[in-house]
């Protein structure tokens, strides 16, 4: 059977900006797939092309084997998208909005499923409320509900938890995990890397419109396992020039230095002190997805297309 999502040689330019360069990616049936990258990396452009909101200059995009241009009706029927923007129709109540969205997908007698979505997203009490009267978090829940109303085999969530409370995040992920277990393919973009780490079986990292890493989450983290990190908060002074090449993150007076081995701790601390720095706090940490992400984005790694074959094999669910 064909893949849930296939992107081949996808390219898109917006004026002077090359948003996507030759993106090749395959998401398998039933995967929980993460699409990560900094702002402007091309994540939303990829999603927009899949959803038919944006047209690629070159390349092919398929959803469940259906080309998003030549067979757009089937492709869209297979796809549910939670957009990043908080949009709503002020003329309708929550339940009306969901019924209307069902109708657009050609579905009737959908009230049982609508009730189930409302229940799982904690929207039962708001079903009769006008969209205008809802808080931002509630509106976000309705957007998720609207994307799920036709039970699409492939669900794309474009930063669904941006700016929402912990309660929604938890209930949303429990529900999305259940859908994934029932066979739905999930593609997630998020800036919360701990979410991606705990949810996604496989991850692609985009940078400046190119796939720069593509592997299972475990493999990506393992790739950096030969490193450990020394995190220090300095009471005085700064990281000396001789240690700058080891610096991965420097934020709010807390600096993260990469070590090949934990044995290097003593020598690093000594060099910091020799450089005039006074250490207030320190910790030694194993890499997580955040470290992998930062390293990948800093490293300017070669596009992953060449090694995606190996990644595909290791990433097959």
Among residue numbers 95 through 124, which ones bind other proteins (CB under 8 A)?
Answer: 96, 100-110, 112-113
20, 26, 36, 48: residue in contact with other proteins (rule CB under 8 A): 48
Which residue reads 């109540």 in tokens? Answer: 93
Q: Is 293 in the site for other proteins (CB under 8 A)?
A: no
Instruction: Give the C-alpha separation, 238 to 140, whole Å.
Output: 42
Tokens read off for 170: 């938890």
Q: Of 76, 95, 140, 258, which one interacts with other proteins (CB under 8 A)? A: 76
Size of the site for other proteins (CB under 8 A): 51
Looking at residue 152, the DSSP 8-state letter turns out to be -
Q: Angle of helix 94-104 relative to helix 136-148, nearest 10 degrees?
A: 30
CB 283 → other proteins: shortest distance, Å?
A: 39
User: Which of the residues 169 through 188 are near other proteins (CB under 8 A)?
Assistant: 181-184
3-state secondary structure of 101: helix
**Position among 5, 26, 33, 88 found at the interface with other proteins (CB under 8 A):** 88
Distances in Å between the Cα of 94 and the Cα atoms of 46, 158, 216 are 29, 21, 37
To other proteins, the closest distance from the beta carbon of 91 in angstroms equals 5
- Contacts (Cβ under 8 Å, ≥6 apart) of 1: 29, 65
Q: Please, are residues 29 and 185 in contact by the beta-carbon 8 Å criterion?
A: yes
Residues between 137 and 166 that touch other proteins (CB under 8 A): 146, 150-153
User: What is the contact surface with other proteins in residues (CB under 8 A)?
Assistant: 1, 14, 29-30, 48, 51-55, 64, 72-74, 76-79, 81, 83, 85, 87-92, 96, 100-110, 112-113, 146, 150-153, 181-184, 317
């Amino acid at each position: 059977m064909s893949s849930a999502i296939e992107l081949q040689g996808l390219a898109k330019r917006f004026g002077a900006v090359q948003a996507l360069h030759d993106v090749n990616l395959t998401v398998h049936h039933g995967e929980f797939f993460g699409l990560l990258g900094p702002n402007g990396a091309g994540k939303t452009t990829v999603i927009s092309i899949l959803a038919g909101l944006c047209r690629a200059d070159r390349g092919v995009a398929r959803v469940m084997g259906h080309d998003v241009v030549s067979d757009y009706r089937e492709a869209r029927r297979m796809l549910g998208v939670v957009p990043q923007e908080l949009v709503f129709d002020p003329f309708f109540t929550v339940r009306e909005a969901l019924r209307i969205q069902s109708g657009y997908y050609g579905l009737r007698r959908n009230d049982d499923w609508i009730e189930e979505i409302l229940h799982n997203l904690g929207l039962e009490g708001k079903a009769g409320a006008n969209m205008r009267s809802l808080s931002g978090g509630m509106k976000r829940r309705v957007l998720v509900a609207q994307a799920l109303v036709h039970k699409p085999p492939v669900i794309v969530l474009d930063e669904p938890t941006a700016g929402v409370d912990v309660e929604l995040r938890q209930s949303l992920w429990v529900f999305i995990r259940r859908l994934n277990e029932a066979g739905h393919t999930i593609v997630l973009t998020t800036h919360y890397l701990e979410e991606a780490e705990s949810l996604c079986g496989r991850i692609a990292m985009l940078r400046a419109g190119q796939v720069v890493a593509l592997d299972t989450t475990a493999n990506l983290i393992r790739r950096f396992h030969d490193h450990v990190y020394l995190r220090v908060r300095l009471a005085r002074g700064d990281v000396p020039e001789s240690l700058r090449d080891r610096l991965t993150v420097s934020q709010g007076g807390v600096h993260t230095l990469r070590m090949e081995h934990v044995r290097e701790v003593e020598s690093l601390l000594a060099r910091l002190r020799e450089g005039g720095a006074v250490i207030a706090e320190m910790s030694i940490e194993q890499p997580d997805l955040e470290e992998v992400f930062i390293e990948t984005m800093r490293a300017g790694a070669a596009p992953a297309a060449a090694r995606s074959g190996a990644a595909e094999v290791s990433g097959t669910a």
